[in-house]
Amino acid sequence: NAGVMQNPRHLVRRRGQEARLRCSPMKGHSHVYWYRQLPEEGLKFMVYLQKENIIDESGMPKERFSAEFPKEGPSILRIQQVVRGDSAAYFCASSLVNRETQYFGPGTRLLVL
Amino acid sequence: AQTVTQSQPEMSVQEAETVTLSCTYDTSESDYYLFWYKQPPSRQMILVIRQEAYKQQNATENRFSVNFQKAAKSFSLKISDSQLGDAAMYFCASLLNRDDKIIFGKGTRLHILP
């Protein structure tokens, strides 16, 4: 039973480029959460999605960041016109039902040059 | 606002000994979950243990156990018979039953001394 999958594991972008991070939840899970971890910090919530719906995006920066979870395929976190401050580890988690244990993927390390 | 505080940035323990990591939290809610996650050098987030606030019995998973003091809003993690593979960052976290987002502490880096 595969866990949460994230790709790529490492992503290097130059300032101004776009970054696309993908997350496939555990089999049977329809709730997806994205978190960001800055160096030497804990994880900070960004957005919570169910299939085709954004439920809570209270932690998402208002500009340049967007997320989707289409009916088919993985969830995508998209960062447009990346800046150096976007360099971080981005973790995806999934749960079977809402407000239950969230299982995390291995993360994507984004480095903006 | 919901907060989670880990006051020990780093700790060390001798292999095979017991160590306790501290965590306090603040919430006005009565229905919530508490977690300890482990983040080894691979940076993967691994769930170690989970506690439902309504349960008085402390959760236990093999060598890992918690001391949950609801009135004091304290949730410490005890690791018995420490092993080299336990070396990692440990994050305490909370999740309100009415909410979606897990709130994490800043972490405690645990070193295991051979």
User: Do the chains contact at A104 and B45, CB–CB below 8 Å?
Assistant: yes
In the prediction, which pLDDT does A99 show? 67
Q: What is the pLDDT of residues A74-92, one digit of tens each?
A: 999 999 999 999 999 999 9
Min Cα distance A62 → chain B (Å) is 18
Distance from CA of B7 to the nearest CA of A (A): 13
Q: B11: pLDDT confidence band, cut at 50, 70 and 90? A: very high
In this predicted structure, the answer to whether residue A7 has a pLDDT above a threshold of 90 is: yes
pLDDT digits (tens, 9 = 90+) for B53-109: 999 899 999 999 999 999 999 999 999 999 999 999 999 999 988 888 899 999 999
Interchain pair A109, B101: CB under 8 A: no
Q: pLDDT value at position A42?
A: 86
Res B68: pLDDT: 96
Q: State whether residue B90 sits within 8 Å of chain A by CB.
A: no
In chain A, what residues touch B99 (CB-CB under 8 Å)?
99
pLDDT of residue B42: 85
Tokens for A69, please give them.
Answer: 């979870």
Chain centroid to Cα A84, Å, comes to: 18
Rg (CA), chain B: 14
**How far, in Å, CA of B55 to CA of A78, rounded?**
40
B44: phi then psi, degrees, rounded to nearest 5: -65, 140
* Facing residue for A33 by CB, picked from B35, B50, B100: B100
Candidates B44, B47, B105; nearest CB to A106: B44
A1 pLDDT exceeds 60? no
pLDDT band at A104 (very low <50, low <70, confident <90, very high): very high
Closest Cβ–Cβ partner in A42, A89, A98 for B104: A42
Contact B100/A98, CB-based, under 8 Å?
yes
CB-CB under 8 Å, A107 with B106: no
List of residues 6+ apart from A24 with CB closer than 8 A:
A4, A5, A6, A74, A75
Q: Does B103 touch chain A (CB under 8 A)?
A: yes
